[in-house]
Structure 1
C-alpha cells in the first residue's frame, strides 16, 4: 500500500527548543499544598514561605567550655595582678543556671549552655587556673575579658518572623535541619504530580525476560521512572502499549482521567507502526508541537488533552533522555513552583573538536572537568540517538549550534548541567 505523503502524520512544523519549552510551560499550573512529616520532606518543594516562629538562638548561649562571669571583674588584671573568682555553679548543656552569679563569682559552663542572666562574658577554660581553698572552688584569670566575649546573643542567626526558607525551594539536608530547629514537624509542600509512563512497541521485552533475537528490553521506562523521581514527580509505570491505535487511544484516555501527566516513549516517528504520531493528531487532542529543531529527539512531541499534557518521547534511549531533561523536567518543576525549572546553564571550553555537521542544535552528552582554572566539557565518544551507554557517564549536555564545519576544541560552548553531575 502506498503511503499518503500529504497526510497529517507527515506534516510537521519545526519549532525551536525555547519555543517548545514556552508552549509547554504555558500549561503548567502549580499543584495543591499538602502537609507531610519532616521525615518524608526530602526532595519535596515548599508550597509557602517558612518564617522563624522565635528568634534563634532563643537564649544567650555559651560559645565555649569555660566560666560565665562579669567582665568588670577582670578590669585591669594581668600576669602580675590576676583576679580570683569563686565558682558557684556548674551548668551543663541543656540545663539552666541554679545560682545567681554575683560580682566576684563565676559559673562553670559548657558549650551551648544557657548563660546566666547576670553574666556578660565567658572566659574559655584554657585561660583559667583552678584552685581550692577551705572547701571552695576558685578560678584565677590573668587577662581582661571584654563584655560579650564567647556569648552568642539571642537572635544572632535569625530574628522572630524572619523568612528562613522561600516558597519554591527544594528541600535537602540543610533545609531539613532548619525545619527541625524551628519545630516544623509537618512541612507544607506542593503535591507531586502523578506521571503515567507508557512504552510503545511490540518489539519490547520486560527486563526480566530472556533476550530474544530482534527484540530489546524495555529500558526507557525504568530510566524515565528515575528521572521523574529526580524531578519531583510521582511515576507510575503502566503496561506497555502494543502497536494498535485503538488500544493506544483507550489506554492513553484512561490514563488522563487518573494521572496529571502522561509520557510515552516510542512510536513518534513516521513509520507504519508509529502510533503516537497518529494519536496526537486526533480532534480531541491539541497538538503543541511534533518536531523540534534539535538532535537527538527531533520528533519529540507534546499535546494537550483536557488541560493535561501528553509528552511523546522518542523510543531511542539517548533521545528519550534528552527530551525528558529539556521538556518534561522543567514542566514538572513549574508545577511544583520551583524558581528555576530549567537545567542550569553556563559556559565551558570544548575539550575535543566536535566534527558533526548540524542543521539543528545538538545537545551532546558530555563529561565536565576542571583544568587549568577553567571548566572543560568533553563530548561523549558515542552520542547517537540510539546509544544509551554514555548516559551514565554524562555530567552535562553540550549545546552545539547549527554548523557546517563542526566546532573546534578550545571554543567556548554553552553547557546544561544534568542532575547528579559531579559539579552540581
Structure 2
C-alpha cells in the first residue's frame, strides 16, 4: 500500500470532532475556530486621521503651493478619543493621529505642509480625496466574513478579533492524545541509568509535537514489554483519548506484542506495512472509534511515520487543513546514490527551493542530526538521485 492510500483510509475512517467550547481570545492562540465569524462593526467605526495635521476638503486646496498658499480658518481641534457631530461648513479642523474626521471633510493635510496656524492656517500643498484619511470601515466592513471555521488562530487573528470588540470565540475541543511507549529497556529522563537501560526519547518528542499543534496529551507513560500491561494501558488510554499512539512492539520479535494485543482488544485494522522506509511495520487501527497509531520503537522511524499520519489525522478531526503536513517540490543539491527497495524518507534541509543532505548517518535509531534538518526527502524506490534532480519534500513541523 502507498502512503497516499493509507491517508485516504484515514480520511474515510475518521469523523470530525463536533464538540466545541468558548474561550477568551487571550487563550485562543493555536485553537481551531468552530464557526464562521462576521464583523459586528466597521473598523474603524468612524472616519479618522492618519496624521497630525488639518482635516480639509481636497477641493479647497487646489493650486496650493509654497508661493501661493491657501489660507483657511481653523474652526476646531480634535484629539484621539474626541468626538464632534458638527459637519464641515468651511475652513479646516486641527486633527491629531487617530482623531475623528467630521463629516464633509475628505482629506487630511500633514502639519509639515502648513505653517501650524491656530486660528488661520497657511497650507502649502494640495491633497487628493482620501489622502492621510482612514474612511469608515476602511480596514473591515461590518458583516464581512473575518474568520472561517477550521482556521488555526494566530496572533493576527486575535488582533483582528480584538479590533472588533470580540472577547470570546467558539473553538473546537482539543484533540486528546495518549502516548504509550513500550520497552522494558526504557527510562524517563532524570532517572539513574542502570545497565542495559536507555532513556526514552520518542515520547518527549511526540508530546511536544502534539502540544505545538494546539492539542492536548492526556496520557504519557512507559510500559514494559508485557502483553497484559500493554493491553491494560491501551484500554485505559482509549477511554481518555481521541488518538492513542504506541511506540515499539510492532515488528516480529519475540516481545513484539502489539499485533496480539490489538487482536485481543478487537481493534479494527486500517493498514500496516505501507511502502515506506523507515517504519515499514507501522500500523493503524480503530479501537472503539478512536485512532490507534502504532509506531516503530526506533526514534527516527517513529517520528517520520508520526509526521505523515498524525497531522493528517488531527486535520481531519479538527477540520483545519492548515494542520496537515506541507509538501514542496525542491531541487536536490546533494546526490543520493543508494538505490532503495522501498520508498524512503531521508532527513534533509530545505531552503530557497533547494534541498541538501547535511547528514551522513541515516539510521533509524539516530536522532542527533535531526537538529540540522527541517524536512524529509520523499525518494521513490529503485532509483539513484543526482544533483539537480527534482524531488518532493515533506516539511517537518516544529
TM-score category of the 2 structures, normalised to the smaller one: over 0.9
Q: Secondary structure at the match of 2:330?
A: strand
Match in the other structure for 2:395: 417
Match in the other structure for 1:222: 204
Write the distance in 2 (CA, Å) between the matches of 1:308 and 1:146.
62
Q: Secondary structure at the match of 1:130?
A: coil
Decide which of 394, 403, 407 is 2:385's aligned counterpart.
407
Write the distance in 2 (CA, Å) between the matches of 1:130 and 1:201.
78
**Residues 1:24 and 2:15 are matched in the alignment:** no
Write the distance in 2 (CA, Å) between the matches of 1:130 and 1:342.
57
1:264/1:311 contact within 8 Å kept: yes
Match in the other structure for 1:120: 106
1:368/1:378 contact within 8 Å kept: no
1:290/1:302 contact within 8 Å kept: yes
What is the Cα deviation at residue 92 of structure 1? Answer: 1.4
TM-score (normalised: structure 1): 0.89
What is the Cα deviation at residue 171 of structure 1? Answer: 0.9
**Residues 1:389 and 2:368 are matched in the alignment:** yes
Match in the other structure for 2:242: 260
**Residues 1:281 and 2:263 are matched in the alignment:** yes
Write the distance in 2 (CA, Å) between the matches of 1:269 and 1:42.
39
**Residues 1:313 and 2:295 are matched in the alignment:** yes
Change (3 A) 1:332 1:147: closer
What is the Cα deviation at residue 143 of structure 1? Answer: 3.5
Match in the other structure for 1:363: 345
- Structure 2: runs of 5+ lacking an equivalent: none
* Number of residue pairs matched by the alignment: 397
Write the distance in 2 (CA, Å) between the matches of 1:176 and 1:296.
40
Change (3 A) 1:271 1:123: same
Write the distance in 2 (CA, Å) between the matches of 1:242 and 1:208.
18
Write the distance in 2 (CA, Å) between the matches of 1:239 and 1:150.
60
Write the distance in 1 (CA, Å) between the matches of 2:251 and 2:103.
75
- Structure 1: runs of 5+ lacking an equivalent: 1-14
**Residues 1:188 and 2:170 are matched in the alignment:** yes
Decide which of 130, 133, 139 is 2:116's aligned counterpart.
130
What is the Cα deviation at residue 212 of structure 1? Answer: 2.6
Deviations 1:152-191 (A, max 9, x none): 2112222211111111111111111111111221111111
Decide which of 24, 47, 63 is 1:37's aligned counterpart.
24
Write the distance in 1 (CA, Å) between the matches of 2:43 and 2:82.
18
Write the distance in 2 (CA, Å) between the matches of 1:269 and 1:376.
32
Write the distance in 2 (CA, Å) between the matches of 1:260 and 1:145.
61
Deviations 1:172-226 (A, max 9, x none): 1111111111122111111111111111010001211122332110111111101
Write the distance in 2 (CA, Å) between the matches of 1:231 and 1:253.
25
RMSD, aligned CA: 1.9
Deviations 1:303-352 (A, max 9, x none): 11111111111111101111110001210121111124431111111121
What is the Cα deviation at residue 283 of structure 1? Answer: 6.2
Q: Secondary structure at the match of 1:295?
A: coil
Change (3 A) 1:327 1:375: same
Match in the other structure for 1:7: none
Write the distance in 2 (CA, Å) between the matches of 1:340 and 1:79.
55
What is the Cα deviation at residue 98 of structure 1? Answer: 7.8
**Greater CA drift, 24-33 or 305-314:** 24-33
Write the distance in 2 (CA, Å) between the matches of 1:206 and 1:145.
69
Q: Secondary structure at the match of 1:108?
A: strand
